[in-house]
Amino acid sequence: MQIRGMRAPWVQEQLYFDGDRYFDALIAAIERAQKSIVLETYIFYSDEMGRWLESHLASAAKRGVRVRVVVDGIGANSWIHAWNPLLLKSGVEVRIWNPLYVGPFLMSVARGLLSRKGVSRLLSHTNRRTHRKYCVIDGETAFVGSLNISSAHLARFSGDKAWRDTGIQVHGPEVDQICNAFDHVWDRSYTPSGRHMWFGRRRHPELDVQSPVRLNLTRR
């Protein structure tokens, strides 16, 4: 279906209604990657699913694919403190969105102790999360949906208690818009050591109104 005023969105698209098929397709795409893999997620658990994905990301990095991962400072907090050191040694690059242990957060705590406005600033800053869940392969194919990196989504790990979520695999030039959104978050995230790599103006990616891609970049 094409909405009036919008470009034909995708060259190919595939819907997935369970985590097993979705992640099987994602892992297969990671194995075929030749140039780049970018992954942004809210939750990344160090469970069976997390370790499975880690191993494939590490393998891709070892064969020369540039692999970049952005995780949320709260949603992936347990993974941040428990990830396999071999992941980083393999060449996978990891950054953390709004972590709780670096300068800006600690400054917000200090302001909160000194003034009422500081308390609201602290709550506002702490609540600035990335809930996006997607992976882009070679800048051409994107996997997007409501699935975090967690065994809870897969029947092979969780049996009949597995969560029912929806994902989509899309291929086409509009994937560039998703890559731009990733670069925006990547530049403004922190390294595992707590270094902030971005010192420029915080400009948002500009999207064509005819694009089928929509971003949640504002407070509204």
The two three-digit tokens of residue 171, written as one number: 């291929």
User: Does the structure show a pLDDT above 90 at 38?
Assistant: yes
Q: Which residue has the higher pLDDT, 9 or 66?
A: 66
CA distance 50 to 54: 6
Q: What is the mean predicted confidence (pLDDT) over 44-68?
A: 95
Predicted local distance difference test score (pLDDT) of residue 75: 83
Q: How confident is the model at residue 99 (pLDDT cuts 50, 70, 90)?
A: confident
Q: How many other C-beta atoms can be found within 10 angstroms of the C-beta atom of residue 79? A: 22
Dihedral pair phi/psi, residue 73, rounded to 5°: -65, -20
Spatial contact of 132 and 147, defined as CB atoms under 8 Å apart: no
User: Does the structure show a pLDDT above 90 at 10?
Assistant: no
Highest mean pLDDT pick, 84-88, 120-124, 149-153, 183-187: 149-153
Q: Which residue has the higher pLDDT, 78 or 139?
A: 139
Q: List the one residue out of 160, 122, 187, 135 whose CA is nearest residue 23.
A: 135
Q: How confident is the model at residue 1 (pLDDT cuts 50, 70, 90)?
A: very low
Predicted local distance difference test score (pLDDT) of residue 98: 83
Q: Average pLDDT over the chain, rounded to whole?
A: 82
Q: 44-48 — which CB contacts under 8 Å span 24+ positions?
A: 44/69, 44/71, 44/75, 44/76, 44/79, 44/148, 44/149, 45/76, 45/78, 45/79, 45/148, 45/149, 45/150, 45/151, 46/78, 46/79, 46/82, 46/83, 47/150, 47/151, 47/157, 48/151, 48/157
Q: How many other C-beta atoms can be found within 10 angstroms of the C-beta atom of residue 27? A: 15
Q: Which residue blocks in 33-82 are alpha helix, DSSP H?
A: 48-62, 77-80
Q: Which residue has the higher pLDDT, 66 or 211?
A: 66
pLDDT in tens, 101-148: 655 555 555 555 555 565 565 566 566 778 899 999 999 999 999 999
CA distance 85 to 113: 36
Predicted local distance difference test score (pLDDT) of residue 7: 59
pLDDT in tens, 184-216: 889 888 888 777 766 555 556 666 666 667 676
- As a whole-number percent, the residues of the chain with pLDDT over 90 amount to 49
